[in-house]
Amino acid sequence: MSTSPPRLLADIGGTNARFALQLDGGIDRVRVLACADYPSMQDAIRAYLREQAVDVRQAAIGIATPVTTDDVRMTNHHWAFSIQATRQELALDTLLVMNDFAALSLSLPYLPAHELRRIGGADPEPRAARGVVGAGTGLGVGALVPTADGAWQAVAGEGGHVSFSPFDEEEIDLWRFAHARFGHVSAERLLQGRGLELIHEWVSGGTGGMRAGFSAARITELGLRAADPLCRRSLEVFCRLLGTVASNVALTVDARGGLFIGGGIVPRLGDFVAQSAFRARFEDKGRMSPLLARIPVFVIHSPWPALIGAGVGLRQYLERQHPGL
């Protein structure tokens, strides 16, 4: 039996919206709704709450976009809303909205070791900063830094939109291929689902033929089974690029507490990432290579980490608003 009022938690990406109830501190009744099935975020929330037959007064949402003002507009989906108007519309006392990778970052101290797959490095320093990267519909980046009072503070950012930096002549050719079509080439342009498809088109010769229509799921399936050499090579290129971006994040935040990889793509690759050139690329940073060699990388295999982080963020927010409660 629940002894505390339920709280609504949400993790909203460009493709799916994940909802749950926080009951007595735990996550329950998780549902995944397709964003395309609902005209607005509010419609999706109402559909979830009707199904659960509950009344909530407090909610926390992690969403895949910058959250800097009351007006929130998603980067890779059409949903847009006012935080305060949504709070009033849904009859909530509290509505906390944060970047989805801030939510994911807040979950890190609460993820069990068996849900983290380690790829190289030494043991993490317990009170050092932690970096987060994740590829899915887009490319998210975040960080978790320790505070003087022994707590943790999430750092939100839009690091997925930094300019893609080629590592060698082959990747310069990939940059030229993408630049000819899109102009500015961000890291997200290549390190997401549609990015894997773009890499595959380039690997296949960039002819725009049947190969250009391969979906990310199909490329991944054939590549992991080694059933198609071009799909296999596409995954290998993807992992090398990810190694570069992950090491950039690790250096930027001095992630001696570890670099954590979430999102929808990399956890599905299983052992392939560890067997690929990811780690070699991660450590290949000239004079900084010895530092990066010590930083462990963890692939997150927890089912709902950003929902956990949203709950942590809501608890912290309420404690600041009502000290001593």
**Dist. CA 80–CA 40, nearest whole Å:** 7
pTM (two decimals) = 0.94
CATH code for the domain of 147: 3.40.367.20
Distance of alpha carbon 255 from its chain centroid, rounded?
A: 17
Q: Is residue 132 located within the same domain as residue 200?
A: yes
Q: pLDDT grade, residue 142 (50/70/90)?
A: very high
**Dist. CA 17–CA 8, nearest whole Å:** 13
Q: Is residue 290 located within the same domain as residue 151?
A: yes
Count the domains in the chain.
Answer: 2
Q: pLDDT grade, residue 224 (50/70/90)?
A: very high
Closest by alpha carbon to 92, among 5, 2, 1, 3?
5
97-132 pLDDT per residue, tens:
999 999 999 999 999 999 999 999 999 999 999 999
Structure tokens at 158: 């839009």
Look at residue 2 and tell me if it is in a domain: no
Check whether 209 has a pLDDT greater than 70.
no
Q: Is residue 117 located within the same domain as residue 189?
A: yes
Q: Is residue 40 located within the same domain as residue 169?
A: no
User: Which residues face 250 on adjacent strands?
Assistant: none
**Dist. CA 137–CA 246, nearest whole Å:** 17
Look at residue 156 and tell me if it is in a domain: yes
Q: Which DSSP string corresponds to 2-50?
A: --S--EEEEEE-SSEEEEEEEETTEEEEEEEEEGGGSSSHHHHHHHHHH
Closest by alpha carbon to 10, among 100, 89, 138, 84?
100
Q: Is residue 59 located within the same domain as residue 13?
A: yes
Q: What is the mean pLDDT of residues 124-148?
A: 96
Q: Is residue 155 located within the same domain as residue 236?
A: yes
Closest by alpha carbon to 119, among 229, 267, 4?
267
Q: Is residue 41 located within the same domain as residue 185?
A: no
Look at residue 105 and tell me if it is in a domain: no
Q: Is residue 293 located within the same domain as residue 149?
A: yes
The contacts of residue 286 (CB under 8 Å, 6+ apart) are none
DSSP 3-state of 232? helix
**Dist. CA 228–CA 162, nearest whole Å:** 31
Q: Is residue 118 located within the same domain as residue 94?
A: no
Q: Is residue 278 located within the same domain as residue 154?
A: yes
Q: What is the pLDDT of residue 321?
A: 84
Domain span including residue 16: 7-100+304-321
Q: Which DSSP string corresponds to 152-214?
A: EEEEE--GGGSBP---SHHHHHHHHHHHHHHSS-BHHHHSSHHHHHHHHHHHTTS--SGGGG-
Positive/negative CA dihedral, 167, 217, 98, 106: negative
CATH code for the domain of 51: 3.30.420.40
Q: Is residue 68 located within the same domain as residue 177?
A: no
Q: Is residue 272 located within the same domain as residue 192?
A: yes
**Dist. CA 53–CA 74, nearest whole Å:** 28
Look at residue 221 and tell me if it is in a domain: yes
Structure tokens at 147: 């505070």
DSSP state, 113? G
- The values of phi and psi at residue 196, to 5°, are -60, -40
**Dist. CA 214–CA 85, nearest whole Å:** 42
252-269 pLDDT per residue, tens:
999 999 999 999 999 999
Give the end-to-end CA distance of the chain in Å, rounded to a whole number. 22
Q: What is the CA radius of gyration of the chain?
A: 20
36-93 pLDDT per residue, tens:
999 999 999 999 999 999 999 999 999 999 999 999 999 999 999 999 999 999 999 9
Angle of the 305-321 helix axis to the 100-107 helix axis, nearest 10: 90
